[in-house]
Chains A and B, each alone.
Chain A
Amino acid sequence: MLGKITYHKPINMVVFVNIIAYAFLIFKDKPYQWHALLMYCVVVTMICTVYCVIIKKKLGEGYLFLIVSMLLSIGIMMIYRLNPDRGYKQVVWSLIGIFVFFTSYYLYQKSNKWHKYTYFYIAISVILYLITFVFGTTINGARNWIVIGSYSFQPSELNKIIFIFFLACYFKNPDKLFIQKFHYDENVKIIVNRVLLMFVTYINIGFLVFQREWGITALFLLIYLVVLYVYGKGKYFFVINLALILPVAIIGYKFFYHIRVRVETWIDPWSDILGKGYQITQSLFAIGSGGFFGTGLGMGKPYLIPEVSTDFIFSAICEEMGILTGAAIVLLYMLLFYRGIKIVLSIRSKFERIVALGITVMIGIQTFIIIGGVIKLIPLTGITLPFVSYGGSSLVTNFITLGILQAISNCDFSSEGEFNG
């Protein structure tokens, strides 16, 4: 009986993890924190309801949301422990995110013309960049926030999705997107197409560099290269693109103080431990002090790390829940990535296949960049850990991508209506 519950319904495990975590949070201090119980109820109700809706309504893949619900609940409990106010906000953002998840699911299934809006995608992304450029506010060294009243959001998060859609439009028929009406030689057409593709990509990257968004810049570049590698035609074009990274990186290193600091602290954070190396060394101390099973939720000192609820949430999780939980999170992302690739393999339409691949690769690379950054495997760049980090725009964007992936996974074998038993 017990075996049946635990094995066949992993959703019970998510509930159980939440019970243990909020028990920690309730009883860690006297007087007991009973409003943590409320948090628990809201989170668990939210996750179970959505899971039931997905299963009962047969909205395709059940695993995607299952994995995400585990990541989401670990993120919420950690943020709530670090800062209760942010915890409440994160729950509200999750509710909005879930609403957006279903909306994007239905919107994506409603229309089958997503591959026709190429110029629209380019225009929208440029407009978003220009809006950020004009009305943007600088928060934490990156000029990428738009503040309206007490709310702020990052348009560059949305641009990730738009860029993936653009890439899918282009690679649906590789090198045959632009100037098909003109009567040029085929080779000339292909070259013009490729130049235009690189032009659009580097415009994106240029705007992002201008906003000092190093993490997302790297993300765009890597998504572009992966999609090009998988679906592009012509070996030399890929090699040229790959080779172009080198001068871009060197220019970045020479001319941008920020990048130089990041690389220097990556190589040796200990020489300036109270200044430039403070973030990364605190993160390493936190991960180290956790041990295998962590200090217990609410009993460590993760608040010593700067930016702990956004960029460094992985270190906080490692400190309070142990390196085993940290490894489990990496495993969860691997499973998510694997499910995404499986969806990619099962679809016939090329456009949707590329969109699904782009989304899957985006989640994978984003995880690698930030987890690699906080454990000092690669230079640290500020980017959010999908579904775990605090942040409204990032969470909502991730839920949009998840909704699209869910819709794609359900495209081919939707069984409509039941005529008999």
Chain B
Amino acid sequence: MAHALNQKGNGIFGGGVKVFEIILLLVKVLFALVIYLFIFGIVRLIYLDIKSMNISKVNINKGFPYLKLVNKREYLHFKVEETYILSKNITIGRYDKNDIVIKDSFISGIHAQITKGDSKIYLKDLGSKNGTFINGKKLEEGEQKLLKDGDKMKIGQLEFLFVEGSELV
């Protein structure tokens, strides 16, 4: 079986069979390594996937402010959580790189940003096409607005209720 390769090994490397065997071993190790890298790659992707899934559920009781969905989830044909915790600065949009990803076709790629500054929460529109509304009032592009407890925020087809957690009080 391996005769041809052996001869080739002899031809190229004067050292003979030993060199050939080392190369063969290296290639075999590489083969196994690549398969495991593939597995690690998938595990990593899955890890990122789960992280984005559970991030909102972990901090629910820690008193962070959060957004609560007003729409009935059952009538929406895309994935959306019941609550989104606002523990840090986040962006909302349709692209996967956002912190809150909502695949609603009425939401822009990067739609809005929520910033946290000196124990207050601000909402900023990042130039969305269909606009961001607070209590029915449309935000201008780049305009920053302070969010108060009980404010209703509307983006795309979705409406959220802003709830100040105990942390800010």
Contacts and interface: CB of A to CB of B under 8 A. Distances in A.
Interface residues of B, number: 39
Contacts, number: 116
Given A14-B38, A30-B8, A294-B28, 13 more contacts: A13-B35, A17-B35, A20-B27, A30-B7, A63-B42, A66-B42, A293-B25, A293-B28, A335-B42, A339-B46, A412-B78, A417-B105, A420-B108
A185 interface: no
Given A63-B45, A413-B79, A418-B105, A17 B31 contact: yes
Interface residues on A, range: 35 or more
Given A296-B28, A415-B105, A13 B129 contact: no
A335 B43 contact: yes
Contacts of A63: 42, 45-46
A418 B8 CA distance: 58
Interface of A: 6-10, 13-14, 16-17, 20-21, 23-24, 27-30, 63, 66-67, 70, 292-294, 296, 298-299, 321-322, 324-325, 328, 331-332, 335, 338-339, 346, 348, 412-421
Nearest to A345: B53
Cβ-closest 7 pairs across A and B: A13-B38, A30-B4, A10-B41, A293-B28, A413-B79, A420-B129, A413-B78
Contacts of A335: 39, 42-43, 46
B103 to A, nearest CB: 4
Contacts of A20: 27, 30-31, 34
11 contacts: A7-B41, A10-B38, A10-B45, A13-B35, A16-B34, A20-B30, A28-B5, A70-B35, A296-B27, A415-B78, A420-B108
A6 B41 contact: yes
B169 interface: no
Contacts of B77: 412-416
B22 interface: no
Interface string B86-110: 0000000000000000011110110
Contacts of B108: 420-421
Interface of B: 1-5, 7-8, 24-25, 27-32, 34-39, 41-46, 74, 77-79, 103-106, 108-109, 129-130
